[in-house]
Amino acid sequence: MPISNRSLLLIAALPTSFLLALFVYPVATIVWTGLTAEGSFSLQAFVDLIARPTIYRSAWFTLWQALLSTAVTLVLGLPAAYLFARYEFPGRRLLLSLITIPFVLPTVVVASAFIALTEGWLDIDAPIPVVIAAHAFFNYAVVVRTVSAAWSNLDPSLEHAASVLGAGPMRVMRTITLPRLRAPITAAAAIVFLFTFTSFGVVLILGKGRLRTLEVETYLQTVQMLNLPVAAALAIVQLVFVTTALFAYSRIHPTQSSLRTNRRMPINRSSLPLASFNLIVIATLLALPLVALVERSLRIGSGYGFDHYRSLLVAGSIGSPADAIRNSLGFAGVALALAVTVGALAAAVVAYGRGRRSARLFDSLLMLPLGTSAVTIGFGFLVALDQPIDLRTWWLLVPISHSLVALPLVVRTVAPVMASIPVQLREAAATLGASPARVWTRIDLPIVWRSWLVAAGFAFAISIGEFGATSFIARPATTTMPTLIFRFLSRPGEANVGSAMAMSVLLMLVTGAAIMVIDRFRIARVGEF
C-alpha cells in the first residue's frame, strides 16, 4: 500500500514550513547580508576577507584539522566497530551505551574535561593535539555505531568462503569486507568531517584565542568586532563547504537498514588482542577525560570536597546557576516536543517516499541543519528576525534553535525504523478491509513508538547541552548551563574553574542518564544511533 504523492505532500507541509521559516530564511538572510552593501549587490565583504591574513589561517586550520580529526577518529573507531559487530561479550550493550555518552555531551563539558585532564602537565599554549583528541573523543561513537550497524548486517558467508579457499584474514578484510562497507564508512567519515569542520565550543575554549576555525572567527567578528558583513561572508564560505559535503553524504548514505543480525562469536584467544586494544582506547580516550573532570570538580586546594557543587546554589556576579539549570531543563522540554513532532513527520516522508526523487531531495534538505553549524543558526536569527517584529529577544528562539540542531538526528533515528516495516504487512491489512488510520495504529505505531522515545532522548540531550546558537541568542534571563560554564571558564580564579567543572559534571550525568534510557528503547541496530 504505497503512500500517494498527495499524502506525502500533506505530511511534509509542517516540517517544510518549519525549515523554510526558521532555517532557510535566516540562512538566506546571511547570504543576502554577505552579498549586498546598502541594498545593492556587492562583494566588498569578500574583498575584506581576502585582505585579512587571519582569515586565511582560520580557513586553512579549519580544513586540515577536520581532515586530521576524521582520520584519527576512523583509525580508532573502525576496530571497535568490528568488535561490536562480530563478537558477543558480557557488558557489550552497556559498553556500547557508555561510548555514546561523549557524542551527546555538550562541547563545553568536553572542553572542561580536557582542561582538567591536561591541567598542569601539558603546554596548553600549543593545544592542537588536545583539540584533535577532543574531536576524536566526541565523534568516536559516530564511527563505531554507524559502521558496526552495517557490519553486523553483512552476510559472513562470502568471508567464510574466501577463508576456505586460502585467503588470509587481512586479504579477506581488504578484498571482501571493506568494499561492502565503503558506503557506511564514507558516511561516517563525512559526518565526522562535518562536525569537526564546524567545531566551535571545543576550539573556542581549548584554543584560548590562539586557534580559530571559521566558526570561531564568525563568532568573534559578530560579538567582538560587530562586523556583520564579514561574519556573513565567512558563514557563506562555510556553507559552500558544508553543502558540498552534505551532497556527497546524501549520495552514499543508505536510507534503509535491515533488522537482520548475524550471529556473533564469543571472545576467544585469537580475538583477545583486538578486544584489549579497544578497551585501552576506550579507557584512555573516553574514560580518562571524564574521570579527570570529576576529580577536578571535587578538588579543593590540596584536598577534596563538595564546595564547588555547593557554590552552584548561590547566585554570583556571573549569573545564577539555579536559574541556568531551570532554563536548560525548560528549554530542553520545549525543544524535545518541537524536534520530535516535526522530525516524526519528516521521517515519515523520507521512509514512506523512499525511492522517489522528491523524498531524496527532502531528505537532503533535512540534513542541512546537521552540517550547518549551530553558530550559523544563531547568527541567522540575529540578522533575520529583527523585522517586521523584533523577535531576537523572544525566549522561544532558544529551544527553536536547539530543535533545529536535533532535527536531523531525530529523522535519522526514526526514518530507518519506519522504512524497515515490510510493505506487505500494510497491504495485507488493507486487503482485509483496514482503513489507512487503522493500518497505521495496528501495524506502524507498535513498531515506531520506541524510536520516538529514542529520538526524544537525543533531542533532550542535545538541547540541554547546546552552546553554539545559544551563545548568540541567549540573554541574561535565558542563560543556560553551557553558557554559564563558558562564563565561569572565561573568568580567572580557582572558584570559577571549580564551579565550571561542577556544573559540567552535572551536565554529564544528565546526558549520560538520557543515553542509558535511550538504549533501553532502541530497536536492534536500526538507524545509526
Per-residue pLDDT tens over the stretch 430-463: 777 777 677 777 777 777 777 888 888 888 888 8
- Confidence category of residue 347, pLDDT binned at 50, 70, 90: confident
For residues 29 and 208, the model is more confident at 29
* pLDDT of the residue at 511: 81
- pLDDT number for residue 261: 52
Confidence of residue 72 (pLDDT cuts 50, 70, 90): very high
pLDDT of residue 2: 55
- The mean pLDDT of 60-88, rounded to a whole number, is 88
Cis peptide before 388 (omega within 30 of 0): yes
Hey, is 527 helix, strand or coil?
coil
pLDDT, residue 338, reads: 92
Average pLDDT over residues 499-516: 83
What whole-number distance in Å separates Cα of residue 24 and Cα of residue 3? 27
CB-CB contact of 189 with 114 (8 Å): no
Q: Which residues of 341-352 are buried (b: 16+ CB within 10 A; e: fewer)?
A: bbbbbbbbbbbb
The Cα–Cα gap between 393 and 477 comes to: 10
| Gap between the Cα atoms of 30 and 24, Å rounded | 10
pLDDT digits (tens, 9 = 90+) for 259-295: 455 556 677 676 677 788 888 888 888 888 888 888 8
3-state secondary structure string, 345-395? Answer: HHHHHHHHCCCCHHHHHHHHHHHHHHHCCHHHHHHHHHHHCCCCCCCCCCC
Mean pLDDT value across residues 178-200: 83
- Please check whether residue 399 is in contact with residue 335, taking contact to mean a CB–CB distance below 8 angstroms: yes
pLDDT, mean of residues 61-65:
88
Q: For the residues 321-337, what does the mean pLDDT come to? A: 89
Query: At residue 354, does pLDDT exceed 70?
Result: no
Instruction: Categorize the per-residue pLDDT at 206 as very low, low, confident or very high, splitting at 50, 70 and 90.
Output: confident
Q: How far is CA 440 from the centre of its chain?
A: 30
Please give the pLDDT value at position 169. Answer: 67
Indicate the angle between helix axes 397-419 and 357-371, nearest 10 degrees.
140
Is residue 526 predicted with pLDDT exceeding 60?
Answer: no
pLDDT tops 90 at residue 74 = yes
Residue 23 pLDDT level (bands cut at 50, 70, 90)? confident
pLDDT at position 507 over 70: yes
Lowest-confidence segment of 50-54, 165-169, 335-339 by average pLDDT:
165-169
The domains located in the chain, with CATH, are 5-521 (1.10.3720.10)
Question: Which pLDDT band holds residue 135 (cuts at 50, 70, 90)?
Answer: very high
Averaged over 49-61, what is the pLDDT? Answer: 79
Average pLDDT, the chain: 78
- Mean pLDDT along residues 190-218: 82
The confidence score (pLDDT) of residue 384 equals 81
Query: Could you give the CA distance from residue 418 to residue 351 in angstroms, rounded to a whole number?
Result: 6
Mean pLDDT in residue range 33-62:
76
Query: In 261-356, which residue ranges form alpha helices assigned H by DSSP?
Result: 272-281, 288-298, 307-311, 321-352
Which of the residue ranges 117-121, 247-251, 423-427 would you say has the lowest mean pLDDT?
A: 247-251
What percent of the chain is predicted at pLDDT more than 70? 82
